[in-house]
Structures are given as C-alpha cells and as structure tokens.
Structure 1
Amino acid sequence: MSVSLARVPTASASRYLQQLAKHWSHKMVVTFSPEEGTIDFPNGSRLEMRADSETLDVALTVPAGEDVERMRGVVASHLDRFAFREAPLTFDWREG
C-alpha cells in the first residue's frame, strides 16, 4: 500500500472538492461536505480531501500492485478540469 500526499494551493479548494466528489459519485462510493471528501475507487484506492481557504490537501492511498503514478495523474487531471481558469494546479506529491 502506498500513500501519496499533496498540498494544492488554491482559493477555490472547497468548490473543486465538491465538484470532483459529485462528478465521481455516480461511479464510486463518495462522501463529502464543503470541507472534506472521501472517494473510494473500484481498484481499492482511496482519495481523501480537505479544503480550507488557501489549499486543497489530498491523500491518495493506492493498494499494492496498482499504478501509483497513474492514480496521481487521474486525480490531478480531473481536478485540473474543474480548475480550468487556474490550471494546471500545482501538486507537490510526496510519500506519506
């Protein structure tokens, strides 16, 4: 199991969190509020997000045998779609 963490600077963190959660809610198990969200992927990965006024903190847990870089890319590219006015967002991925 691998955990990747990123702190994404944006003043629109809550909006992006909610948009991503709603977008994936028809395919995956999703819970969210304006400040926090969790998305469980079919491959066993889990994305946890926390929004404040300046950043979106993301924690991506990927099970052994799954492609960590691909999952990071999926999360980043989807968030960039919602953040098209300020994309690309800066993801400072690091191991958790």
Structure 2
Amino acid sequence: MPISRAVIATDSGARLINRLCKHWAHKLEVEQEESQGRVAFDEGACLMRADGEALTVAIEALDEAALDRLEGVVASHLERMAGKEPLDIVWEN
C-alpha cells in the first residue's frame, strides 16, 4: 500500500482536524481524539496529528492512483477549512 505524508506549518492544526472530522463524519468512518483524527475512505485512510506548530497528515491508499486522488481530496478540504490561512501542502511519498 503506497503512503504519502505532509507536514504543514500551522498553529491551528487541531481546529482543522476537528472541522475535517465533523465534515466527513456524515459520509465516512471517522475517529477523533483531542489533536488527532483518522478518516477511512473506500480506497484508503487519512491520519492527522497536530501539535502547536504543525499538522502532520499521512495517507495510505490501495494503489498509486487512489493515493493521488486522496492527496487532492484531503488537500482541497484542508485549504477550504483553513479559510484565509494559507497552507503549504507538499506531499512526500
């Protein structure tokens, strides 16, 4: 299973995790604790963990094509949830 990871500089990581988990909980299996969350998609999973300086996001997918799709979905949702805060999301495989 291919894995991709991004470390995103932000002091609002816990808030972003909370917003994303609430957003996706209507359609997907979501687990959330204080400053971490897990979202299960049909073709993989997204793990998120926040500290005071960064949000770390890891995606595990069934194949490379699914990984590419999930990177796009997660990044676009993070940017939307961040509002005016610019996020520099760089995926590392």
Paired position in structure 2 for 1:53: 52
* Displacement after TM superposition at 1:74 (Å): 0.4
Supply the distance in 2 between the matched residues of 1:34 and 1:59 (Cα, whole angstroms): 17
5+ residue gaps in structure 1? Answer: none
Give deviations 1:7-41, integer Å, cap 9, x for gaps: 01101000000100010001111001221100000
| 1:21 aligned residue | 21
Distance (whole Å) between structure 1 residues aligned to residue 64 and residue 82 of structure 2: 30
- The amino acid of 1:6's aligned partner reads A
Find the residue that maps to 1:91 and give its secondary structure.
coil
Paired residues, what number? 93
In the alignment, what sits opposite 1:78? 77
Percent identity of paired positions between Structure 1 and Structure 2: 39
SS at match of 1:94: coil
- Indicate how the Cα distance of structure 1 residues 65 and 52 shifts in structure 2: closer, same or farther if over 3 A, else same: closer
Gapped runs of 5+ residues in structure 2? none
Moved more, 9-18 or 56-65: 56-65
**Matched AA of 2:90:** D
Change (3 A) 1:70 1:52: same
- 1:93 Cα deviation after fit: 0.9
CA distance in 1, matches of 2:18, 2:7: 17
Counterpart residue number, 1:7: 7
